[in-house]
Structure 1
Amino acid sequence: MRLTSNNAGTFKGVLFLIAIILVISVLAYSQFIVTQLKESTRKSLTQKIATYTALIRSDNPELIGFALQQIQDVDFPIIVTDDAGIPKLWKNVDVSPGDSSSESRQEIARLVREMDAQGNPPLPIRIAEGTTDWFHYGDSLVIRQLRWLPWIEILATGLFILVGYVGFQNIRRSEERMVWVGLAKETAHQLGTPLTSLLGWIELLKANGADAHAVAEMERDLARLNRVTARFSQIGSKTSVQSANVRSVIEETADYFRLRLPKGENAVRIESVYESEPRLSVNIELFGWVLENLIRNSIDSMRDGGGRIRILCSESSGVAHIDIEDNGVGIAPRSRKLVFRPGYTTKKRGWGLGLSLSRRIIEEYHGGKLFIKETSLGRGTTMRIVLPTAESAKP
């Protein structure tokens, strides 16, 4: 793996750790504020109850009215019960104060249990000697809203980060695409001039009676270079597709390698198996380029010399599957998600662009998919191309 990939992974890990710390900090601080408010509410309520208890024992009607006013001023749910748990008074709950039906009593009893479960232990009210009422209370509206506040903040922050991340990814992909297009166009331009010159030299060789076989091989290789240049020039442009038999495209590419692979004990065999031969709507030049990249990677994976590459073509429900299977060294599990990244390579002199470019061609220009179907260290790899057939691709 390259150093840049390590740095990127470390940077993402640090960002994730910071995000976790921020979330925990927000939740902890919000919980601290809620606890402080609840404690403040409890102290205030204790004072009110002490005042209420002192005044309710008075024979003065005005003092008794003032005591009741202390309770009426409470702005959070309260329920007063006797020693037996029978409700006597309630306020700021979803039950009318004058409703004494059995259903209302059951609802009040449920609310009492709910209030006590919120961490608000009931406060005693000693009305007279041997007589104690219990003051049950729930959280105020402010506290209930504060409980939701950190989650709302985290959600809003998460949405903001998500939108920013998506925007950043789109910008990055757009920049990568521009780099790809610029690199491809410049490569095609740089190759164009010497290729034109070579064509002139070949004509001169013919005129001077050079060896016909040598000139023919030069022309064949020059035609090959022209095809490569044409491929680069099509990157970033609106490419044309045509209906083509999948077998003819595969065999043309496979034959190119068969003629050039070593023979003998360390030979690499390329086999083709066609369970079906669908027609595909493809740009033949670019699609052939993808096949070349995949076959070349399979050849490079056979480091000990010798091996087998099997190309299997099948069709299912209007979709063509092209598998390129080899018995090379395979791909390590940690590298499976990295092989399609631009710049990732295990070769000493590789650019790490072949698979990334191949996936881009298949997905963006042909509406298909390219992925690792299966791989195993020491046993080989199978890459799969999925493309709609020409019939299913028709509007």
Structure 2
Amino acid sequence: MFKQFIGWKFILVTIAVAIIAATIWFVSNLSAKIQDEERKKVATWVEAYRELLKSGSDANLNLATEIVTTNTTIPLIQTDAAGNIVDSRNLDTTKISQNPTLLQEQLLSFKRQHPPFIIEIDAKNKVYNYVYYGDSLILKQIKYYPYIQLLVVALFIGAVLFGLSSTNRATQNLVWVGLAKETAHQLGTPLSSIEAWLEILRENEANVPFVNELTKDVDRLKLITDRFSKIGSVPKLEQKDIIRQIEDMAAYIRRRAPQKVQIGVHTAETELPVMISAPLFDWVIENLLKNALDSMEGKGNIDITIENHPAVVTVDIADTGKGISKMNLDKIFRPGFSTKKRGWGLGLSLAKRIIEDYHKGRLSVKNSELNKGTTFRIILRK
């Protein structure tokens, strides 16, 4: 089980997680260093402001003035002891003039971010002001940069994976379509030959009984060939009574099912016309019924419930077989996946393609429980 995870996908995910962790760690350290530098700058600004208030020597005054005026990046708000704003710097004055409450909101934000610096205005009367500051624009950009980068990378990876998935799905479709058409082509030649031999055998009246039985099998093979030939091309949808279609197919499977298997069709309607391709739709029903038979191992019930809704028709095919494990529920419609020893894993994949691509409906597992059974649901638009 562990070996399944040691693949290129797991390695790529591990590398991606490592890069993300390293990026966040590096940016966090860088942000902390810049934040510390900005605090030192604010402390220097506060000291220079104090020098201006003392009005000392001209040299000190000029130096203090230069320090105070050169801070153009770190936003500051100065308040008195009562919390009234007396000064602000490096804030968007246009937005503040349009929204007077914005300055108070910024002050509350600064109080949450950093502790204030205290400026002594009047030592004798113990008058103090408080300087609050916030992060500079550069620091904010650095903090949010890794998350924006990760979002862009995630979107890019998602787009690439979606493209690869679509390409892979299209390639698989081409393979299955080519296989189906080639199968139909290969069956056509021997069928024509068998039909000719049957006509010769029919000339002898003694051969008529078994010739008639052989003719039924040939007709069945012709129907299968016709189904394969329609894969890959857009089928012509015709209005058919879906109840009659399902009852005919149920009767066909019933004749070939073990005696201990009961197949029932349940509906409150007498007739229900729906636009379908009859040969392909019959193929879907036949495939689902045969899968149900295989899962029951010779005994049990298969119940087909047809319901008429305002916009759609639903067909539920429920069996009392061995069910599908949760691990396999997401895999059963994948081409090539099969739990049978001799299965090709094409039946459910083609059935889903027929219902969803050709009939614009939906085929899904309504519910399944191990050792109790499975219910497949078909939804067709009316």
Quote how far apart the aligned CAs of 1:308 are: 1.2
Once the two structures are overlaid, the 10-residue window that deviates more, 59-68 or 282-291, is 59-68
**Cα deviation 1:147-204 (Å, max 9, x = unaligned):** 2322221221122122222222221221111111111011111111221221222223
AA at the equivalent of 1:57: K
- In the TM superposition, what are the counterparts of 1:289-304 in structure 2 within 5 Å? 289-303=283-297
1:136 aligned counterpart, secondary structure = strand
Q: Does 1:168 align with 2:164?
A: yes
Match of 2:28 among 20, 26, 31: 31
Give the 3 Å change call, closer, same or farther, for CA 288–346 of structure 1 in structure 2: same
One-letter code aligned to 2:307: S
Whether the 8 Å contact between 2:323 and 2:372 is mirrored in structure 1 is yes
Shift of 1:128: 7.3
Over 3 Å counting, the alpha-carbon distance change for 1:358 and 1:188 in structure 2 is same
Instruction: Kindly indicate whether the alpha-carbon contact (under 8 Å) linking 1:261 and 1:268 is maintained by their aligned counterparts in 2.
Output: yes
Aligned-pair CA distance for 1:110: 4.8
Q: 2:141 aligns with which of 145, 149, 154?
A: 145
Aligned residues of 2:51 and 2:61 also touching (Cα < 8 A): no
Q: Contact conserved, 1:56 with 1:63, CA < 8 A, in 2?
A: no
Structure 2: which 5+ residue stretches go unaligned?
A: none
Contact 2:48 2:68 in 1 (8 A): no
SS state at 1:301 partner: helix
**1:107/1:380 CA distance change after superposition, 3 Å:** closer
The aligned amino acid for 2:78 is V
Residue matched to 2:345: 352
Deviates more, 1:74-83 or 1:137-146: 74-83
Distance in 2 separating the partners of 1:260 and 1:338: 28
Please name the residue that 1:181 is paired with: 177
- Conserved 8 A contact 2:362-2:379: yes
User: 1:297, CA displacement in angstroms?
Assistant: 0.5
1:157 aligns with 2:153: yes
Pair 1:313-2:313 in alignment: no
Pick aligned residue for 1:261 from 257, 263, 286: 257
In 2, the alpha carbon distance for the partners of 1:9 and 1:253 equals 46
8 Å CA contact 2:110–2:132 kept in 1: the answer is yes
**1:111 equivalent in alignment to 2:111:** no
Per the alignment, residue 92 of structure 1 pairs with 90
Distance 1:21 1:368 in 2: 43
Change (3 A) 1:108 1:171: closer
**Greater Cα offset, 136-145 or 361-370:** 136-145
- Residues 32 and 65 of structure 1: is their aligned pair in 2 closer, same or farther, counting only changes over 3 Å? same
**Equivalent pair of 2:318/2:374 in contact (CA under 8 Å):** yes
The TM-score with structure 1 as length reference comes to 0.85
Letter in 2 for 1:184: A
* Corresponding position of 2:380: 387
Tell me, in whole angstroms, the C-alpha distance in 1 between the residues paired with 2:261 and 2:104. Answer: 83
Structure-2 separation of matches of 1:246 and 1:204:
38
CA distances 1:299-330 after superposition (whole Å, capped 9, x unpaired): 00112x21111112120103111111111111
Q: CA deviation at 1:45?
A: 3.4
AA matched with 2:359 = H
AA in 2 matched with 1:70: I
Q: Give percent identity, aligned residues only.
A: 36
Please tell me the residue identity of whatever aligns with 1:195: L
Could you say if the C-alpha distance between residues 332 and 49 of structure 1 is closer, same or farther in structure 2, counting changes exceeding 3 Å? same
Counterpart residue number, 2:40: 43
Q: What displacement does 1:246 show?
A: 1.3
Q: Residues 89 and 281 from structure 1, CA distance in 2 versus in 1: closer, same or farther, beyond 3 angstroms?
A: closer
Cα deviations by residue, 1:42-88 (Å, 9 ceiling, x for unpaired): 23333444455456534435642542331121112113345555544
1:366 is the counterpart of 2:359: yes
1:330 aligns with 2:323: yes
Taking a change above 3 Å as real, the CA distance of residues 112 and 319 of structure 1, as seen in their structure-2 partners, is closer
Partner of 1:68: 65
CA distance 1:247–1:138, shift in 2 (3 Å)? closer
* Aligned CA distance change for structure 1 residues 311 and 107 (closer, same or farther; 3 Å): closer
| CA distance in 2: counterparts of 1:59 and 1:367, whole angstroms | 86
Please provide the CA RMSD for this pair: 2.8
Relative to 1, partners in 2 of residues 1:234 and 1:146: Cα closer, same or farther, differing over 3 Å?
same
Q: Is the 8 A contact 2:75 2:136 kept in 1?
A: yes
Unaligned runs of 5+ in 1: 390-395
Q: Which amino acid aligns with 1:246?
A: I
Question: Hey, what's the Cα distance between the residues in 1 that align with 2:106 and 2:235?
Answer: 70
Q: Secondary structure at the match of 1:349?
A: coil
Normalised to the residue count of structure 2, the TM-score between the two structures is 0.88
- Give 3-state SS (helix, strand or coil) of 2:296's partner: coil
Q: Which amino acid aligns with 1:80?
A: Q
Question: How many residues end up aligned between the 2 structures?
Answer: 374
Give the distance between the partners of 2:306 and 2:6, measured in 1 at CA.
37
**Deviation readout 1:86-107 (Å, 9 max, x if unpaired):** 54432123569xx9xxx97x86
1:120-269 → structure 2 map (5 Å cutoff): 120-125=114-119, 133-263=129-259, 267-269=260-262
Partner of 2:265: 272
Counterpart of 1:211 in 2: which secondary structure? helix
4+ residue runs over 6 A deviation: none
Aligned residues of 1:246 and 1:279 also touching (Cα < 8 A): yes
Determine if contact 2:48/2:65 at 8 Å carries over to the other structure.
no
8 Å Cα contact 1:95-1:108 kept in structure 2:
no
